Amino acid sequence: MTVEPSNPGESQPDREIGLDLVAPEMYAPMLRRLALAAIGVGLGAALLAALLVSWPVSLAIGVVVGAPTVGYAIALRRRRMWLTGNMIHARRLFGQHRLDLAAATGVEVLVFPSRLSRIALRITAGADTQIVPLAMYTDAGSGRELHLLGLRKLADALAACPLAGAVSVSTVLVAQLRAEARDAALEQRPLYRAVRLARAKDYVSPIVLTDAEVAQLC
């Protein structure tokens, strides 16, 4: 059987690039243990209740006790976000949400100031909205940031968007990418500077950075 060589000019399918700050594989064992523990607690509650009430009622009590935690663990295990080309995919407990960055009508930088401050993008395309986490930092100066490949592909997709705000955010992500690549101090990283800027306002609610504030981050 003869195998035809592939045509170098043919377009290849876009690779999936994860956009999760913490890869699902890292916390899957913990969620599995949590679900097993919840099942054990539910069974224990059912057996204890069976001493006082009928089996149907005791089983219902066991389900009420254990099911919420099991459901929570399953929901977290299913959650995942990734990028293919310009399309953001977000898998949830039921179904999947997709948003085309090329059709974005708004791109905002959100900061959630607290002891564990989070910074994210809020991308709007018509009636659709998607939050993309970028980093989180503690008061002590530690934290977690989106990996280099995720930053690179997200910056590329935003740069292709016709919105001026998207291009500005893309520039910030490229600067963050370079800072992470050279292992720069936190004060030299644009995303950390955005968090410090938000903390200086002494607000509790999420803060949307203005265009001028985004431009100052680079």
Q: Are 188 and 178 in contact (CB under 8 A)?
A: no
Query: What is the distance, to the nearest Å, from the Cα of residue 76 to the centroid of all Cα atoms in its chain?
Result: 11
pLDDT higher than 80, residue 204: no
Residue 167: predicted pLDDT: 92
Paired sense of beta strands 143-145 and 96-100, if any: unpaired
What percent of the chain has a predicted confidence (pLDDT) above 70?
85
Same-domain pairing of 174 and 212: yes
Q: Are residues 197 and 152 in the same domain?
A: yes
Does residue 161 sit within a domain?
yes
Residue whose structure tokens are 């935003």: 158
**Cα–Cα distance for residue pair 60/43, rounded to 1 Å:** 10
Q: Are residues 106 and 68 in the same domain?
A: no
Half-sphere exposure of 66 (CA within 13 A, CB side): 20
The verdict on 73 and 107 lying in the same domain is no
Q: What is the mean pLDDT of residues 199-211?
A: 83
Ramachandran class of 24: left when φ > 0, alpha when ψ lies in -120 to 50, beta otherwise: alpha
Same domain, 73 and 158: no
59: CB partners within 8 A, 6+ apart: 46
129, 204: one domain: yes
CA distance 164 to 146: 23
Same structural domain for residues 106 and 208?
Answer: yes
The domain containing residue 54 runs over which residues?
A: 24-78
Domain presence at residue 115: yes
Q: Same structural domain for residues 41 and 117?
A: no
In a domain, 30, yes or no: yes
Distance CA 2, CA 54 (A): 70
Share the mean pLDDT of the chain.
Answer: 82
Verify that 117 and 174 share a domain, yes or no: yes
Q: Is residue 163 part of a domain?
A: yes
pTM (2 decimals)? 0.73
Compute the average pLDDT of residues 91-116.
86
CB 200 within 8 A of CB 153: no
What domain count does the chain have?
A: 2
> Residues 74, 106: one domain?
no
**Same structural domain for residues 44 and 110?**
no
